[in-house]
Amino acid sequence: MTYPVKMYQYHAWANQAIFNRLLELPGELYNQKIHSVFPSVAAALIHIYTVDFCWLKVLTGWDMKDALTEAHQMGGELEDLGAEELQLRFIELSDGYLSFFRGHPDLEQLITLDNPYAGIRDTRLSEIVLHVVNHGTYHRGNIAAMLRQLGSSSTMTDYAFFWYQEEAAVHPPFVNR
């Protein structure tokens, strides 16, 4: 497994950790209006999703302008979803990324990216994947701060925490019987 794929697995795990925490909290926190980086936790999650969606389209060969248009349209549709429904969309999107990784073993492949906001440049597929991960980490931090503002706590989504969760799944702790 390549480093970008491992980092994407962390990204998917961290997103699910946020949803798992949200589903433990009172349901109204998901859409509660707040004066912060985003107007609600739901809006922050929708932003993460639509950006992830856009970049997957770019990875699979879409023109970035077309991918942005599609993602923007989808964002409006997602506003009506509850946390559980959006969580399922995140899982489906993660499956799309994993399918992409299986079909593209060379993530060091260069593509020409025509970013309407930043210009044209040659970019490795791995750079896009690492950008997706970094972007999600940044906004999960926003969500953690927003949950604090709303009187609740978030959950640990640090990469180091992912290591231990992953190890525990492969090598469960010994239980003395």
Domains of the chain: 3-23+31-168 (1.20.120.450)
Reported as a single tens digit per residue, the pLDDT across 59-83 is: 999 999 999 999 999 988 999 999 9
Beta bridge partners of 121: 113
Reported as a single tens digit per residue, the pLDDT across 108-164 is: 999 999 999 999 999 999 999 999 999 999 999 999 999 999 999 999 999 999 998
pLDDT of residue 176: 40
In terms of C-beta distances under 8 Å and separation of at least 24 residues, what long-range contacts does 91-94 make, across chains too? 91/16, 93/49, 93/52, 93/53, 93/56, 94/12, 94/15
Cβ neighbours, 10 Å, residue 133: 21
Here the tokens at position 144 are: 């953690």
Q: Which residue has the higher pLDDT, 37 or 175?
A: 37
Q: Is 11 annotated as a binding residue?
A: no
Cβ pair 134, 4 in contact under 8 A? no
Helix (H) or strand (E) holding 113: strand 110-115
pLDDT of residue 60: 97
